[in-house]
A and B are shown apart, each in its own frame.
Chain A
Amino acid sequence: NAGVTQTPKFRVLKTGQSMTLLCAQDMNHEYMYWYRQDPGMGLRLIHYSVGEGTTAKGEVPDGYNVSRLKKQNFLLGLESAAPSQTSVYFCASSTAGTSGGNEQFFGPGTRLTVL
C-alpha cells in the first residue's frame, strides 16, 4: 500500500514552459486535492476533486488546470509557467462523507522551480 505518490519529485522549468504533475493514490479515496506551500505561509488549496470526472477551484487556481479522468489519479497542469509558481506542490486524498472524518493523507511533494 503506497498511499499517495507524486511524480516528479523535483523539476526546474523556464518561464513559459508547460508541465504536468501526477498524483496517484491506492486507497480508493473519493476526494483529492492539490496544494502549494510557500515559505512562511500555510498551505493553499489550488484545485480539488470530489470524484472521478469532477474538479473544482480552490483558493489559488489561476495559472493551473487539473483533470481527474481516473479515480486514483489527479493531474495538475501548468500551461505557461511563471516564476511566481515556484513552490512545493502537495497532493492529498481523503474519504468522502463522514466515513473516517475526512482525514487527509499527503504525498511527499514536488519541488518546482521556475526560472
Chain B
Amino acid sequence: KQEVTQIPAALSVPEGENLVLNCSFTDSAIYNLQWFRQDPGKGLTSLLLIQSSQREQTSGRLNASLDKSSGRSTLYIAASQPGDSATYLCAGSMDSNYQLIWGAGTKLIIKP
C-alpha cells in the first residue's frame, strides 16, 4: 500500500533563504506526483505536477523533482518571501483512476 510522508511537519526560515521541502513515498510505481499549497482556512492550490516520465517541473521560483527509484520528491523554493508562508502538501497518484495518496503536509513560515 502506497504511503506518502512529509518531513518535517513544520519549518521556519528567514526571508530570502532557498529551501527544500521533502516528500517520500513507499511504492516506486507512482503515476504522477502533485504539489499543492494551502493557506489557512482556504482551499488547495495546485503548484506543480510531475508525471512519472518526467524528472522535474519548474514554475517561477518553484522547482519540483521526482526520483522514483529512491521514492522521493522535493519542492525547491528560491529566494523565499513571507507570502510563501503556507502549508505545502504533496500527493501521489498510483492508478488510472487518479486517486491521490496524500502526505500530511509541511507548514512553512517565512520570517521577515
Binding site for B on A (CB under 8 A): 31, 33, 40-45, 48, 50, 56, 58, 90, 92, 94, 101-109
Contacts and interface: CB of A to CB of B under 8 A. Distances in A.
Given A43-B91, A43-B100, 4 more contacts: A41-B104, A42-B89, A92-B44, A108-B43
B43 A107 contact: yes
Contacts of A107: 43
Given A102-B93, A104-B34, A42 B49 contact: no
B46 A105 contact: yes
B26 interface: no
- State the main secondary structure of chain B at its contact with A: strand
Contacts, number: 54
B97 A48 contact: yes
A4 to B, nearest CB: 8
Given A50-B97, A102-B32, A42 B4 contact: yes
Contacts of B32: 101-102
A41 B100 CA distance: 14
A42 B93 contact: no
A106 B45 contact: yes
Given A31-B98, A40-B104, A56-B97, A104 B43 contact: no
A74 B102 CA distance: 21
Contact of A42 (B46, B51, B98, B102): B102
Contacts of A109: 42-43
A102 B98 contact: yes
Contacts of A41: 104
B44 A106 contact: yes
Interface in B85-112: 89, 91, 93, 97-100, 102-105
A45 to B, nearest CB: 6
A58 B104 contact: no
Given A58-B99, A103-B34, A42 B45 contact: no
A103 to B, nearest CB: 5
20 contacts: A31-B98, A33-B99, A41-B104, A42-B91, A42-B104, A43-B91, A56-B97, A58-B99, A90-B44, A102-B31, A102-B49, A102-B93, A103-B46, A104-B34, A104-B46, A105-B46, A106-B43, A106-B44, A106-B45, A106-B46
